[in-house]
A and B are shown apart, each in its own frame.
Chain A
Amino acid sequence: MGSTEVKDGLYYSKEHEYAKVEGDVVIIGITDHAQNALHEITFVEISGVGTTLKAGDECGLVESMKASSDIFTPLSGEIVEVNVALEDAPEIVNEDCYGKGWMFKLKPSNLDAELPGLMDAEAYKAFIESE
């Protein structure tokens, strides 16, 4: 599988989503480990802007050449922006999952309580090694 990139400063879920806190919003996407496992992503769809979600809710779909996977939000809040570039170029997730391949931005509703429930980079590295 080659080397998997885990970025410091991000928060990670067991479903292989990451959350990057940036001011008032949280940027959410799938991890390098996840995009590697999926390979050749052909389709991404995220619930619409304005959707209110509870942590763990299903909120989108990623298709690869081989399989279909659900996306879950790691945090509660309201979707304020969806990465529309992925509609035409879903392969960006394979190329740059932590950068241009982000999936949606969330206005969190319970950040302080929920963030400690996610893993930091160290813990996530250990988690994917144990999986």
Chain B
Amino acid sequence: MTQEKRGVSMSEKLERTQLYDWHKEHGDVIPFAGWEMPVRYSDIRDEHMAVRDGVGIFDTSHMSRFFVRGPQATEFLQRMTTNNVSKLEVNGGHYTTCLNEKGGIHDDLMLYRIGTDEYIWVTNAANGPKIKDHLMKHSKSFDVEVLDRSSEIAMIAVQGPKALGLLSKIARRDLSEYKRFTCNPVDIAGYDTYLCRTGYTGEDGAEVLVLNCPYTDEGKKRAIGFWEELLSQGTEFGIKPCGLGARDSTRLEAGLVLYGHELDENTSPIEARIPYAVKFKVEPHYIGFDTVKSHKEIGVKKTRIGFSMIERGIPREHYPILHNGQVIGETTSGGVSPILNNGIGLGYVPPDLLNTGDVIEIDIKGRHRKAKVIEWPFYDPQRYGATRTV
């Protein structure tokens, strides 16, 4: 048996979050995107179901957090990103992308407006250094300041139908007054935080920026203190600490894109089918504007699909996708959906070729297995996710 190698080589210097000591004691820590992160604490499936049925917490402190402020902050960020920055209200947040000159995705991110001229840019761990350079370089032409505050703030995602119940209990007040996609400074049990009502699991919840958590003994103690407060107060909500395994399985089941898989420098947001991240009535035009506009108006060369296995097999990334015996594309993510108890995946195929319900084949290490094209989320949105009605 040979297990496929993942992550980076151990000889590389790996970074640690403020919660590393806790992860090492309670979880299974692996190298990931230059960081030592927990892949699981118990079983990925159990952690996944805690997020769907109750609440799960994830350490996402490895993501980068850049603070952008100054009189030209809005203009600068509109040049850098594809969503409509001027439409973003103070204490609002939106999902957006940052493109290269060719209209390919340089980064995908959450942008929060915390003041008239102040924003927080939260991005992928792996893209942190690249985006820092990109922002520093372009900010020179604007009256703005870009501060990397990643190492002084811990970030914890609290996700699931009971996430707000748990946070409200700890804060001793009803936090559901803060609607989804807002970002507000909130005192939670004596911790100064930004409560961002967003997430990456498909569920309701929050991503909490815990301020004043530098990578010192005191800062680490503070971050672990907040984490343990969530865990001890969350017992009645079925809380579980969740690792990268459940982070990937929950985002995949929700059909959410992951940089390095569905998104890269050669893929546009139109091809990735994230149109809500892209606006055209914006000023100034962002980098990559013309290409994305032509993708929208004239067409694309590839498009993202979701699929669920009909025959036995678990898809993974980089498996060929076949239609009528011909290879038409490649998978970008795959795995098991604990809700469907079935193999699911995402991939790219030519546009206008397939419809929902069409049967394709996935080449799983030489075994051609039937799958069905389906729309995301892969779960029933009436029963799971932030849109659930039961």
B249 CB to closest chain A CB (Å) equals: 7
In the complex, what residue of chain A is closest to B43 when comparing beta carbons? A40
Residues from chain B with Cβ under 8 Å of A71 in the complex? 1
Are A70 and B1 neighbours in the complex by a CB distance under 8 Å?
yes
B186 CB to closest chain A CB (Å) equals: 34
Q: Does B223 contact A (CB under 8 A)?
A: no
Residues from chain A with Cβ under 8 Å of B43 in the complex? 39-40, 65
Bound-state CA distance A87–B335 (Å) is: 17
Digitize B307-331: 1 where CB-to-A-CB distance is under 8 Å, 0 elsewhere: 0000011101000000000000000
Q: Which residue of B1, B39, B343, B367 is within 8 Å of A66 (Cβ)?
A: B39
Residues from chain A with Cβ under 8 Å of B6 in the complex? 67
Digitize B349-365: 1 where CB-to-A-CB distance is under 8 Å, 0 elsewhere: 00000000000000011
B220 CB to closest chain A CB (Å) equals: 25
Are B314 and A42 neighbours in the complex by a CB distance under 8 Å?
yes
Q: Does B389 contact A (CB under 8 A)?
A: no
Are A43 and B1 neighbours in the complex by a CB distance under 8 Å?
no
Q: Does A34 contact B (CB under 8 A)?
A: yes
Bound-state CA distance A87–B343 (Å) is: 14
Residues from chain B with Cβ under 8 Å of A61 in the complex? 364-365
Q: Does B232 contact A (CB under 8 A)?
A: no
In the complex, what residue of chain A is closest to B246 when comparing beta carbons? A65
Are A62 and B45 neighbours in the complex by a CB distance under 8 Å?
no
Are A69 and B335 neighbours in the complex by a CB distance under 8 Å?
no
Are B3 and A67 neighbours in the complex by a CB distance under 8 Å?
yes
Known: A43-B313, A87-B312. A63 touches B3 (CB 8 A): no
Bound-state CA distance A61–B316 (Å) is: 13
In the complex, what residue of chain A is closest to B249 when comparing beta carbons? A65
A55 CB to closest chain B CB (Å) equals: 14
Are B1 and A16 neighbours in the complex by a CB distance under 8 Å?
yes
Q: Does A5 contact B (CB under 8 A)?
A: no
Known: A39-B40, A42-B336. A68 touches B314 (CB 8 A): yes
B370 CB to closest chain A CB (Å) equals: 15
Residues of A contacting B: mostly:
strand
Number of A positions contacting B (CB below 8 A): 24
Q: Does A6 contact B (CB under 8 A)?
A: no
Are A65 and B1 neighbours in the complex by a CB distance under 8 Å?
no
Residues from chain A with Cβ under 8 Å of B381 in the complex? none
Q: Does A30 contact B (CB under 8 A)?
A: yes
B378 CB to closest chain A CB (Å) equals: 16
Q: Does A37 contact B (CB under 8 A)?
A: yes
In the complex, what residue of chain B is closest to A13 when comparing beta carbons? B1
Q: Does A96 contact B (CB under 8 A)?
A: no
Are B312 and A66 neighbours in the complex by a CB distance under 8 Å?
no
Residues from chain B with Cβ under 8 Å of A81 in the complex? none
B270 CB to closest chain A CB (Å) equals: 31
Residues from chain A with Cβ under 8 Å of B141 in the complex? none
Are A70 and B2 neighbours in the complex by a CB distance under 8 Å?
yes
Q: Does B44 contact A (CB under 8 A)?
A: yes
In the complex, what residue of chain A is closest to B248 when comparing beta carbons? A66
B3 CB to closest chain A CB (Å) equals: 5
Q: Does B245 contact A (CB under 8 A)?
A: yes
In the complex, what residue of chain A is closest to B244 when comparing beta carbons? A66
Q: Does B133 contact A (CB under 8 A)?
A: no
Residues from chain A with Cβ under 8 Å of B313 in the complex? 43, 45
Residues from chain B with Cβ under 8 Å of A70 in the complex? 1-2, 365
Q: Does B217 contact A (CB under 8 A)?
A: no
Residues from chain A with Cβ under 8 Å of B25 in the complex? none
Contacting residues of chain A (38-79) with chain B, CB-CB under 8 angstroms:
38-40, 42-43, 45, 61-63, 65-72
> Could you jot down 21 A-B contacts, CB within 8 Å?
A34-B1, A39-B28, A40-B43, A42-B336, A43-B312, A43-B314, A61-B364, A61-B365, A62-B1, A63-B336, A65-B40, A65-B43, A65-B245, A65-B249, A66-B39, A66-B44, A68-B4, A68-B365, A69-B1, A69-B3, A70-B2
A15-B2, A61-B364 given; name 11 further pairs at CB < 8 Å.
Answer: A39-B40, A42-B336, A43-B312, A45-B313, A61-B365, A63-B314, A65-B43, A66-B40, A66-B44, A70-B2, A87-B312
A-B CB proximity, top 10 nearest: A65-B44, A63-B314, A69-B3, A16-B1, A42-B336, A15-B1, A43-B314, A69-B1, A34-B1, A68-B316
